[in-house]
Structure 1
Amino acid sequence: MAHNNPWPDEGNTGHIWDEDIRELDNPPPLWWMLSFYAGFVMIVFYALYYPTIPWENSWFKGYAGWTQIEEYDEEVQVLQNWRKKRFAEQEEQLAALPVSEILKNEELKTYAVKTSKVLFGDYCAACHGAGGQGNPDFPVLADDDWLWGGKPAQIEASITNGRIGNMPARGMMGNLTDKEIDQVADYVIALSEGKGNEPAYAAGKAVYAKGMCLACHGPAGKPLAPTGATNFTDGVWRFGGDKADVIRTITYGVNVKKNGEPIKGTRLAVMPAFKDRLPDPEVNIKRLTVYVYSLGGGQ
């Protein structure tokens, strides 16, 4: 940068490089200045036209009456109207056909599964996981192991009316001692490992009969019908298969109440009925039934 300005009357700033490259101090073009001032005018316009200015407990709504939420709702409505028109035939079929017939129609079944994912995420995933993998203390829907039955009609009944688990504390008569609970816990764990007939678990097997565990879980640890009771022979546990988990379940039962309130330590196993929770339940219960059935492999 030159120390001397060879062009003192040119109107430059005195910053000169490479002998003749200099910075001038000319005013901006008129069109640029007009645009600059027009920007300030537009700021005032937007501040008055759209909601911008905060008040003490509210805000200035703007003379246009526009909100992002209203625009979003309008766009969603446009999309919903398009979907309703585009998939009207499939929706009519879902409403008209029973689940058994929907499953026989591969194209309709695929449609039901694809349109169930958001519904499942909104209403089911909190307990059963996004992909039916289950969350702690909630059933897995993707393992072919069903507490209340995995046939389409049984799944539909579970979603429609809900399910409430039931297991008395300390055996059917409520009289098992701590020692007996420890013994029967060892026995049911042995059943899950295929060791139930070994002599080491004979005492627990006797307690299993005394406590009337076989009434729900079956004489050999496998329920004779899907009534919500755990199958001890498949290694799948509703509330965990560690001995401490098993002892707690036997000791305090499932959904055991006193004076209308759950007792401390009892397992809570309640699935609400969705017939009054889902939008358009007649169709969406079928839709979810098909989706859950597909997750469990149809067993």
Structure 2
Amino acid sequence: MLNANFIMGLIKCLPREDQINQLRKLRNDGVTLIDVEDFLASLCDIYRIVPRLHCIKFLMEFNDMVKNVEVDIEVATIACDEVLSCSRFHKILRLILSIGNIMNAGTKIGGAVAFELPALTTLIDTKSADNKRTLFDFIVETAVEKYPDLLYFADELCHLHEAVDTKFSNIEETIKKIEGLLHFVGSELEKVKASPSVHDTTFIDIMSDFITHHNFDNIGQLTKNMHHMRESYMKVAMFFAFDMNKYKISECLKDIITFKNTFKQKLTEIAKSCKSNHKLSIQKLHPESSGCKTTNGTCRSFTIKLTRMTEEEIAFAIGSKTSRKRKHAD
């Protein structure tokens, strides 16, 4: 009948030690307590009520706590593996480096062998002399023209958004918290077992089963997975040659996300532009007839001059047409 939120509210509502003693004294003196006071006094008669409530609350939250940590570790590890294994993304980076070296040829920063990842987010800020195009536009257009097989590298980086907010320190703290609470439950269980005043063994049975089935081997596996995630972080840092103390892995993933989103946006703009230009070309080659409703009508973009014929001209035209039919029949 309990849930974690109710238990937490109950813990906050329990009276202080001096209030508990006062309630007990009143009850021992034969004073009739109101329902709320009687309820609180009965709760406080339970041996080690507050620690036991904390144990029950932890039992209810345990599976969710472990599951959340497992998911965070798994997603972060997969995201790192994707960044390390995405050869299309690596080739796009080489293309950017080559274009940058061509632009900086003859200067002291020309002939670079690498560039820092935060530079990916500044490519869109470098504009042409007429301020109409950016370096990012040129990079995407070059990829479209010469390296079409690299265009959809973003499809191979699908877990970055989920992993970007995952912090190693938070995972480490959560695992230590779970481990500490398991020790706390084990210690509390021993104290309740040792008390001669405890006659109901329900708490002992449930918590013993909990400790047995959720032993420290599970925490050991979580810790092992966490260290594997840490190794994945270090591999990414080594691959892109940055200091994790100065440039966090979360910042690295955010910059890559920004780059791939902007790249996809530019691809969409180019596709729309090509579609529009293609439609315009078709209209020029095959213009639609707009009809000839006035004296000076327009048909297929050609202007046609229409004039009214006199009755004599009409009769002559009809007579010519009739004579041609007779001649054809002969």
What's the TM-score once normalised by structure 1's chain length?
A: 0.20
Write 1 or 2 for the structure with the bigger share of helix: 2
- Greater radius of gyration (CA): 2
What's the TM-score once normalised by structure 2's chain length?
A: 0.18
